[in-house]
Structure 1
Amino acid sequence: MKVVVGIPSFNNAETISHVAKVAAKGIMEFFDGDGMIVNSDGGSSDGTRERFMETDTFGVPKESFVYEGIPGKGSAMKAIMEFSLEQGAQTVVFLDSDLRSVKPWWVERLAGPILRGEADYVTPFYLRHRFDGTITNNVCFPMTSALYGKKVRQPIGGDFGVGKKLLEIYLEKPEETWKTDVARFGIDIWMTTTAINESGRILQAALGTKIHDVKDPGKHLKGMFLQVVGTLFELMVTYQNRWMSVWNIEDVPIYGETPEEEIPPMTIDVDNLKKLAKETLVVPEYVNESAVREVKEDGTLSLNSWVDLLYRSAVQYRKTRDKTVVENLLPFYFARTARFAEEVKSLSDEEAERYVYEQLGVFLERKRLLKEEWEVEDKG
């Protein structure tokens, strides 16, 4: 079998049928029907699985099951990986179950390079609103780029192509891995970082606009932030021998032309972010006083202070392995997101995108201080 399209879900009855139908069209149009669609569900109570199984998939076989393990996206995706290997699939395409902008050719963009032997892992390259993807823009994209030297724009994008070789690498990891936040929202950054360090054969697929259930960072993203950043810090320990020798950032090739599509408008509650930053602020001893002062005065945080704080927090996490370190970052994340929103609010999405890329220089420049502090902990 060439391709399995895996759709993890939890209470996505309103959108999953659309994703399944489009996935089926992609398998029929680009892979002569040689594939199947798999729904791995977290015990939805809204009829998600029933809606999925009722969907007309034009003869493409489909399967739905409730996964076992810790409730979360990662557990759902692990079950899809295991099922796909049992079916002899050459590649798996993961699609988020709340996608509204998915097209049949997305399946080819994510699976084609793997089937042709050009890559083991394909990440999405989206057009997104400048207020969308705040964890990506302020943490995962710059940190992944600076640490591992690969400019992967959407390391936690949700929609990925994964080859058989990498599936086996993921599933050969100790079972304890799947009892951590990798079983939850940590899965995407874990998959991407593992792929960079243990495969290296990565492409990005131009998918156009991503339209999905947008979440306000101050109201909906606390759990995701904690799980993603905690996993990112844990991976820094795992791959410390690799990132400490990386001092250049390489472009990652993009497969396909980016279509010209309109990006839907969205807003975030900046005043609420500032309020949350001030009200939830805690001041651990390793936090720079200037960063604390910025948050107390204005509820926002400059880029330089944010980078320093992320790196100091990573060192502290490595020292203690205490999740409180990540929790202490939350008010600063709210503050940095508020400042970022103010900095780009008068820009076009294209100009804001350039601004996001420009931040990489600060992350890379200050990485030498991170390395020095990390090595001090080694000697200690």
Structure 2
Amino acid sequence: MAKSGGDMKQNQYSGVEIIVGIPSYMEAKTIGFVTRQVDLGIKRFFPHMKALIVNADNNSGDDTRGAFLSTDTVTPKKYLTTPPGVKGKGNNLLNLFRFCKSRLSSLKVVVLVDADLRSITPEWIRYMAEPIFKGYEFALPRYSRHQFDGTITNHICYPLLYGVMGENVRQPIGGEFAFSPRVMLHWLDQKWLPTARLYGVDIFMTLNAILGKFRMCEVGLGSKIHNASAPKLGPMFTQVVTTFFQGLLKHKADWIGLLHENPKPKPLFGLKSLSAPQELSVDLRDMKDKLRGEFLSRKNLLKKYLSRYIYSSFWRMIDQDHYKMDTVLWTQAVYQILFTFDTGSPTVKRDIVEALKPLYFARSVTFDYETWKYQIDYAEELILDQATAFASQKPYFYGLYLQRAQDLDRRINKKN
């Protein structure tokens, strides 16, 4: 059995073929359970392969390190941390990737699992790793999540990838991934913007795997039970959206002008059906109060950059305290925000992401009212319908650039 009081010596984790990484920050209460499940999965399904469990931490003050290293495992363990004061999941994974790069001579697959999971089973390690051994290079999770959970995924990341890039990837920022060393080296070769070093890292990984044309698949994992929460206006939203918008627009030449109709899902491994999701409640009154405050502090910015119709529709929702941010209204609002991010100054880029927050909350409130009494299958149908709307409204997005060019021509002709 591996010693639990300290790191393994260098020669004891050479020749590693499987690395399971657990990024963390202040997860002392849950990381022991996750580590035990990972160890069981490795022992049960990959007993003849040399493996290593790596905790990539942010120098957590709750002794996550001690909780990880004191967990009894057969599989050797390694603890990595960022320097004091350096936070961010992206920095954790950058640390992990660099460590994995030093093991390239033997490494075959890397699996990532979040440190706050309560539903992880040993089978997850098998489900995630097996597709990589079969020739896929990036495996993403597919699991049951309550419609109040994963709202950035449901309303921004998934539909934009579907609509703009023609990629049907249901959980692009899920947290559980498996990948080949080749795609990991591709990520290391990219420019890591500040937000990609924080919560933006998951969408950074998925987007660059798509742009790099790596072979991708999805893995059914059942229900994800973790430290879930209702939609928040904190740094995670800003970091994910900023990373996503920057990455999309940097590679606009790869997708501009392409029309996609109903992109097919990726090949599915693991569990094939959805199970009951984690229960989650949400305080809609609190959400409404927050979105109202966000709107009032940014109404001049929204009035300037949104169309008159979208702005007036949203103003009526605020005025009447009744929210119906329907799919088409939401789709066009997101495309207007994305267009403004592309054409605006650095200050405008920063401000317009913040201005998206009240619109996002209004869409979340609307969706919650529409789905709260229905089963997960119905909510999934509406999420797919929304993604389809993003695809069908793509010409509207292109039209914003055409209108800008026409306005510029008129101004030039007027001067002449």
Q: TM-score, normalised by structure 1?
A: 0.93
Among 237, 242, 258, the residue aligned to 1:230: 242
Per-residue Cα deviation, 1:49-103 (whole angstroms, up to 9, x for no partner): 1000000112x11100212595200010111111112123222111000000011
Q: Counterpart amino acid of 1:98?
A: D
Among 269, 274, 298, the residue aligned to 2:321: 298
Give the aligned CA root-mean-square deviation in angstroms.
1.8
Matches within 5 A, 1:369-380: 369-374=396-401
Among 243, 259, 268, the residue aligned to 2:282: 268
Matches within 5 A, 1:312-331: 312-320=336-344, 321=346, 322-331=349-358
When residues 293 and 260 of structure 1 are mapped into structure 2, their CA distance, relative to the original with a 3 A threshold, is closer
Cα distance, 1:260 vs. partner?
6.2
Among 244, 247, 252, the residue aligned to 2:260: 247
Cα distance, 1:277 vs. partner?
1.5
Per-residue Cα deviation, 1:225-263 (whole angstroms, up to 9, x for no partner): 111111111012122112222423222111123366432
Given that 2:198 and 2:239 are in contact with CA atoms closer than 8 Å, whether structure 1 keeps it comes out as: yes
Answer with 1 or 2: which has the greater Rg.
2
Per-residue Cα deviation, 1:104-135 (whole angstroms, up to 9, x for no partner): 11112111111221x11000000111211111
Matches within 5 A, 1:174-193: 174=191, 177=192, 179-193=193-207
Determine the C-alpha separation between the residues in 2 that align with 1:221 and 1:21: 34
Match of 1:348 in 2: 375
Q: Does 1:207 align with 2:221?
A: yes
**Aligned pairs, number:** 373
Determine the C-alpha separation between the residues in 2 that align with 1:370 and 1:277: 25
Q: Determine helix, strand or coil for the equivalent of 2:220.
A: strand
Q: Does 1:80 align with 2:99?
A: no
Among 129, 140, 153, the residue aligned to 1:111: 129
Select between 137-146 and 282-291 the one with higher mean Cα deviation: 282-291
Among 62, 65, 68, the residue aligned to 1:52: 68
Q: Determine helix, strand or coil for the equivalent of 1:359.
A: helix
Given that 1:2 and 1:115 are in contact with CA atoms closer than 8 Å, whether structure 2 keeps it comes out as: no
Q: Does 1:357 align with 2:375?
A: no
Determine the C-alpha separation between the residues in 1 that align with 2:312 and 2:326: 10
Q: Determine helix, strand or coil for the equivalent of 1:295.
A: helix
Determine the C-alpha separation between the residues in 2 that align with 1:294 and 1:99: 41
Q: Counterpart amino acid of 2:40?
A: K
Select between 69-78 and 272-281 the one with higher mean Cα deviation: 69-78
Given that 1:299 and 1:335 are in contact with CA atoms closer than 8 Å, whether structure 2 keeps it comes out as: no
Q: Counterpart amino acid of 2:332?
A: D
Match of 2:305 in 1: 286
Determine the C-alpha separation between the residues in 1 that align with 2:333 and 2:141: 28
Given that 2:259 and 2:394 are in contact with CA atoms closer than 8 Å, whether structure 1 keeps it comes out as: no
Match of 1:257 in 2: 271
Determine the C-alpha separation between the residues in 2 that align with 1:79 and 1:152: 26
Match of 2:13 in 1: none
Match of 1:35 in 2: 51
Cα distance, 1:221 vs. partner?
4.7
Determine the C-alpha separation between the residues in 2 that align with 1:77 and 1:127: 25
Select between 85-94 and 5-14 the one with higher mean Cα deviation: 85-94
Q: Counterpart amino acid of 2:260?
A: W
Given that 2:80 and 2:96 are in contact with CA atoms closer than 8 Å, whether structure 1 keeps it comes out as: no
Given that 1:143 and 1:363 are in contact with CA atoms closer than 8 Å, whether structure 2 keeps it comes out as: yes
Match of 1:336 in 2: 363
Select between 330-339 and 294-303 the one with higher mean Cα deviation: 294-303
Q: Does 1:61 align with 2:76?
A: yes
Cα distance, 1:192 vs. partner?
0.4
Cα distance, 1:319 vs. partner?
1.2
Determine the C-alpha separation between the residues in 2 that align with 1:111 and 1:375: 46
Cα distance, 1:372 vs. partner?
2.9
Cα distance, 1:5 vs. partner?
0.5
Per-residue Cα deviation, 1:212-234 (whole angstroms, up to 9, x for no partner): 001121xx452111111111110
Determine the C-alpha separation between the residues in 2 that align with 1:36 and 1:299: 53
Determine the C-alpha separation between the residues in 2 that align with 1:294 and 1:11: 42
Determine the C-alpha separation between the residues in 2 that align with 1:188 and 1:252: 18
Given that 1:216 and 1:268 are in contact with CA atoms closer than 8 Å, whether structure 2 keeps it comes out as: yes
Determine the C-alpha separation between the residues in 1 that align with 2:73 and 2:402: 54
Determine the C-alpha separation between the residues in 1 that align with 2:217 and 2:233: 28
Select between 102-111 and 247-256 the one with higher mean Cα deviation: 247-256
Given that 1:190 and 1:235 are in contact with CA atoms closer than 8 Å, whether structure 2 keeps it comes out as: yes
Q: Counterpart amino acid of 1:346?
A: K
Determine the C-alpha separation between the residues in 1 that align with 2:367 and 2:360: 10
Q: Does 1:368 align with 2:395?
A: yes
Determine the C-alpha separation between the residues in 2 that align with 1:236 and 1:210: 28
